[in-house]
């Protein structure tokens, strides 16, 4: 019997990834709120924290969201260049790492810490039903008549 052609191939999260990106995903894999987004073609992978992007790898490029000051310092040190998704458009705080010797794992962890610090902490929840809601309005005594009722 022929194999089912529509069945997806068994794949691991790192199939086809830039080999320098594999340690990044492994270092962040067990971090609370972290997820890895992947394009259908597998050419682009995004680093996400609670649904917000803080980095990506695409066609051998490594791009991270840092502070504008940190990005400027890394650019000055020759580690990378400001990220430009299209000609003439530069995204503030985003850097494309260009130096081959750059430590992708430590830079990704730094971007993750910044992304975590920028997010609002989750609202406190109570196990008590109805907690956090306004108390019901209680009408006591005789209701006032308005001039409209006259």
Read off the pLDDT of residues 60-83 as tens digits, 9 standing for 90 and up.
Answer: 899 999 999 999 999 999 999 999
**pLDDT tens string 76-114:** 999 999 998 888 898 999 999 999 999 999 999 999 999
Residue 86, pLDDT score: 84
**pLDDT tens string 12-58:** 444 556 788 999 999 999 999 999 998 888 778 999 999 999 999 98
Residue 94, pLDDT score: 96
Residue ranges of domains in the chain: 22-119
- Going by pLDDT thresholds of 50, 70 and 90, the confidence category of residue 11 is very low
What span, in angstroms and rounded, lies between the C-alpha atoms of 150 and 148?
A: 5
CA end-to-end distance (rounded Å), the chain: 87
> CB count, 10 Å around CB of 61?
14
Helix (H) or strand (E) run with residue 134 in it: none
Residue 40, pLDDT score: 83
Answer whether 116's CB lies under 8 Å from 109's CB: no
Q: Assign domain 22-119 to a CATH class.
A: alpha beta
pTM higher than 0.85: no
Residue 17, pLDDT score: 63
Handedness of CA 83, 85, 90, 93 (dihedral sign): negative
């Amino acid at each position: 019997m022929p194999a089912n052609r529509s069945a997806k191939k068994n794949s691991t999260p790192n199939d086809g990834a830039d080999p320098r990106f594999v340690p990044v995903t492994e270092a962040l894999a067990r971090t609370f709120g972290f997820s890895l987004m992947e394009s259908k073609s597998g050419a682009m992978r995004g680093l996400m924290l609670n649904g917000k992007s803080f980095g990506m790898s695409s066609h051998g490029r490594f791009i991270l969201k840092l502070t504008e000051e940190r990005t400027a310092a890394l650019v000055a040190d020759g580690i990378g260049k400001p990220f430009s998704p299209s000609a003439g458009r530069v995204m503030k705080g985003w850097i494309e790492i260009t130096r081959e010797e750059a430590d992708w794992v430590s830079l990704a962890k730094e971007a993750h810490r910044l992304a975590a610090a920028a997010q609002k902490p989750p609202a406190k929840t109570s196990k008590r039903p109805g907690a956090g809601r306004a108390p019901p309005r209680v009408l006591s005594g005789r209701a006032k008549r308005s001039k409209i009722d006259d």
